Amino acid sequence: MRFTYRSGQRVLDGFTLKRGVGKGGFGEVYFALSDAGKEVALKLLAEREVEMRGVLNCLNLKHPNLVHVYDVREDEHGDTWIVMEYVLGESLSQVIQRHRNGLPENLVREWFGALSRAVGYLHDQGVVHRDLKPANIFIENGGLKVGDYGLCKSLTSGQKQTQRVGTVHYMAPEIGSGKYDKAIDVYACGVMLYEMLTGKLPYDGESDNEIFVKHLTAVPDVAGLPRGFAPIVLRALDKNPLRRYATMAEFARAVEATALPVATPVNLTLPAGMTMAMGDMSMTMPPPLPPPPAAVPTLDATPIILPDAPRAAALPPILPLPTARPPAAPPAFAWRDRLAELSTSLAAAPLLVALLLVPYGLIAQVTNPLALGKVFLVTTALAWTMVLGAGGRSFRSADTWWPRLRFAGLGLAVGLLAFWLDGWTLPTASAGGPVTSRGVTFFGLGTIDGESVPYAAKYLLYFAGVLGAGRWWRLSARDRKDRLSFGALMASGFWGLLLVFLWPTGTEHVVEGAILPLLVASVAVQAVSPWVPAVNPVAKKFRLRSA
């Protein structure tokens, strides 16, 4: 990941940059030290007009569960920087990724209580966050802090919102109509509660529009939620904002109440002094205690969590940590950026394919450059197919029939290319007789006779089957686990060998014609595709602790 500035530079008076810690659509975040040794996070804004409104709404807010904003400064080039609290930890998104089946219930209650206090404090100050998601929430030593205020909006603002803002997986249905109030944060917290408990999102799909339509129409599957959480999640994710929890404090009380044991009340009323015998045991009921004085209030069995309850004081001290969006989830890029990356990948793929085929040509002692040229063209076509067929999907995208069908369709084109490179030259002569052909011109490139059709069909079926069977979009996903994965190489060879029975000439020339192009293409695609590495883990391994 390349940053605009390097370590040691002083872009702002009084601060020295140490390293870049995050980069996204709204700018770059650096870890820096003040001249007095204070650790801070400096954020260089890419979209000043968009994010400054949100930051200014939170400039003077102070809460133990919020990332603090210290100041807004401009450098000598006129660029805007935000000076923020530096928080050393990991995001809630990274924690959830490590626990795909959900977090322990007691930990969910503790963290959700802290989240509710932070969001409730924002609401009490007349601010709605509008971009609550695990990537914007940071955990360290059991403490939780909410950050990233770029989309925060004042509840008293009369400005009409004309477009959807936020992250689609956490968007309330009413956002489509431009309505932004406290209910959308309640909805987003409901989505995060579901995700913390199950390790999955309640709604997912192939595109942002598909996901948003599910927010408008679908009902979340709550069958896998722990006992007591299903009605809470359903209420928080209600399509009608008036039926959701009115405040985050009310939401938090409902979550905390799931910890109470469910017991059947037993009413044993015995006169004072009466003995109740149970086998060899006997128990004498003492005289009843006098009722409490009227001045002493009777406590309800349900615990009440206030926005600034003493529970926050019981948490370990919270150290300052980065407010950068961790790259566990790929940031949203403008279409120009995506087009530039796609063009770069497509242009670099043939060069890398040619470089990778040189060792094969030397080892196999290929003396016919034309034969190696055919392998190069097929391999390049496979690499382009893997890049274009991915369609910008992430590594964690759901495995559905549509991307596989798209890859299979592109595989037909690759099979047609491979057949054409053979020059349509397949045996058609009868024994002892002249060559007979009822060939027809195909796009003016050659002729296909009746006996060649089965061979062409096998080319098409082989490449369509191989590309339709594997999850090839993972090779070019920005959020893949590693830049180059040996497992992806093994998968390419597996699918190539599994469908070898479809190869037109049996096992003859199957290595250079099919297996080798798949292996080389899988390596080339990973090498030329953009990759956003995960944030380095903290030195001390994070431990999940009970409440």
Active site residues: 131
| Contact predicate 475/530, CB 8 Å | no
**Residue 11: both structure tokens together:** 């872009």
Cα angle 401, 404, 405; round to 5: 80
Q: Report the alpha-carbon distance of residue 233 to residue 230 in Å, rounded.
A: 5
Hunting for tokens 């086998």 — which residue is that? 279
Collapsing DSSP to helix, strand or coil, 287 comes out as coil
Residue 364 main-chain phi, psi, to 5 deg: -80, -5
Q: Report the alpha-carbon distance of residue 101 to residue 226 in Å, rounded.
A: 12
234: nearest Cα among 275, 198, 202: 202
493: nearest Cα among 523, 460, 456: 523
Q: Report the alpha-carbon distance of residue 414 to residue 391 in Å, rounded.
A: 18
User: What letter would DSSP give residue 28?
Assistant: E
Q: Report CA 274 to chain centroid distance, whole Å.
A: 65
Question: Rounded to 10 degrees, what is the CA torsion of 371, 372, 377, 379?
Answer: 120
List, in sequence order, the alpha helices (H) in 218-334: 230-236, 248-257, 311-314
Q: Report the alpha-carbon distance of residue 363 to residue 173 in Å, rounded.
A: 60
Strand pairing report for 39-45 and 153-154? unpaired
Q: Report CA 194 to chain centroid distance, whole Å.
A: 15
Question: Rounded to 10 degrees, what is the CA torsion of 426, 430, 433, 437?
Answer: -50
Burial status of residue 229 (CB atoms within 10 A of its CB: 0-12, 13-18, 19 or more): buried
Q: How many CB atoms lie within 10 A of CB 35?
A: 10
**Residue 123: both structure tokens together:** 């609401």
492: nearest Cα among 464, 523, 461, 454: 523
103: nearest Cα among 114, 113, 92: 92
Cα angle 435, 436, 442; round to 5: 110
| Contact predicate 528/344, CB 8 Å | yes
Terminal CA-CA length for the chain: 37
Residue 514 main-chain phi, psi, to 5 deg: -135, -55
**Residue 424: both structure tokens together:** 């349509």
